[in-house]
Structure 1
Amino acid sequence: MQHATGLRPSSRILISNTDHDRLTGLARALLDRAPETAEELLSEMDRAVVTDAAAMPAGVVRMGSTVTVRGEGRNTQRIVLVYPGEADIAENRISVLTPMGTALIGVSIGQAVCWNGRGGRKLSVTVEAVDIPAGGGR
């Protein structure tokens, strides 16, 4: 089982009402096909502080954000957080339904996120920068 929130249950996340509605619907639609993934995303949506999309502060990861993360080996990577149909690992477009994507949604610059990778290996990154998409998100 891959859990993002099991490793960071007390950290606060902030989600726009638009992202919250769409991600909750996506997770509910997946409950029959991918229950663990759906439950993980629903868990994140349940603990999120929801705000109006226009009031989202800069520096918070939202859908479509380009996020610079620093891994344990001090290496940095830039990824774009996207919906599943837009994901492309070759272009660093990471689906929100991946353990890393679910862990990143709603966190702010400076926060570290952890999740279980393949074989139960614990992985983590720290958010160093967030560039919001044109128009402030979807």
Structure 2
Amino acid sequence: MTSSSPRITISESDYARLSGLAEATAKSNSSVAEYLMSELDRATIKPDRLVKPTTVKMGSTLTYETDHGESRTVTLVFPVDADISLGKISILTPIGAALIGLRVGQSIIWTTPTGDKHRLTITATSTEQETPVQAAQ
């Protein structure tokens, strides 16, 4: 496992909403808000239309594989929509903040609340916001 972080891309709209969310929660959830801000600071920000469909965005359903070979499919959501029993992971969790902006094939090391480090590799993505457009075609 390496400690280097992969390059990430975040859409302008996600950047604006997530920056505000991180600032608003900095006092109550400081460690995750700080981590999210550090991810936003290192991201390349692009117009929404230029962010590839293989990039994890807010609302993306993605599949990742752990360093133990386990595969899991989750949806990255805002805290109000989080429900771990439905696979909806909040952006304001360490794993949620680690996933934003990654592309299929990229890996990241994230630290669990107990301090363990794990490698996650993105194997697939789809975005819920794209579904109505696809259905209309």
TM-score, normalising length: structure 1:
0.88
Structure 2 counterparts to residues 1-138 of structure 1, below 5 A: 8-135=3-130
Larger deviation, residues 28-37 vs 99-108? 28-37
Aligned length in residues: 130
SS in 1 for 2:36: helix
Higher relative contact order (CA 8 A, sep 6+): 1
Percent identity over the alignment? 38
Root-mean-square deviation (CA), in Å? Answer: 1.5
C-alpha deviation, 1:8, in angstroms: 4.8
Residue 57 of structure 1 aligns to a residue whose secondary structure is coil
Tell me the amino acid that sits aligned with residue 49 of structure 1: T
Unpaired segments of 5 or more residues in structure 2? Answer: 132-137
User: Secondary structure of the equivalent of 1:120?
Assistant: coil
What one-letter code is carried by the residue in structure 1 that aligns with 2:40? M
- For 1:9 and 1:25, the matched residues in 2 are separated by 26
Larger Cα Rg: Structure 1 or Structure 2?
A: 2
Unpaired stretches in structure 1, ≥5 consecutive residues: 1-6
Q: Tell me the TM-score normalized by structure 2.
A: 0.89
